[in-house]
Amino acid sequence: MLSFDITEKRPCINIFKLNKAYYFKHFFDDPELFREMASAGARNKVMKYLDRKGFDPNIIEDAAPFTVEIGEFQKYGELLKNSIDSYPMLDKIVFVMKDLLCVEQAIVMGATMRSK
């Protein structure tokens, strides 16, 4: 007997906990709708809203698998477009990418996984 998966695939939005606040990157019609989620209550409210709008929100507590680095003199404009956060560290620039596909793209562009 054949079986079919008819479950609708919902777009996933990763929500990162960084420095006691929650961040995500997605473009919406109303840019004022989301700024920073500084509390668990605000995060829960946003997660419910995203769920109602057809998204699958995913909390990321450990950003290490999403973190890459690139030399400070390498081109990184494209990496900024798909990053949640970035900061300089010695002779590198560190990026937290919004999803694992963006991590793969960053590596193709010359970035390396950030070692702890």
Residue 47 neighbours by CB under 8 Å, 6+ apart: 15, 57, 59
* H or E, element range at 16: strand 12-18
User: What pLDDT sits at residue 21?
Assistant: 80
The residue extents of the domains of the chain are: 12-60, 64-113
Q: Which two tokens stand for residue 43?
A: 């995060």
pTM summary value: 0.77
User: What pLDDT sits at residue 107?
Assistant: 94
Burial class, 70, CB count within 10 angstroms (exposed 0-12 / middle 13-18 / buried 19+): buried
What are the average pLDDT values for consecutive 10-residue runs of the chain, which has 116 residues?
A: 65 87 75 62 84 88 94 86 91 93 93 85
CA 50 – CA 47 distance, rounded (Å): 5
User: What pLDDT sits at residue 35?
Assistant: 56
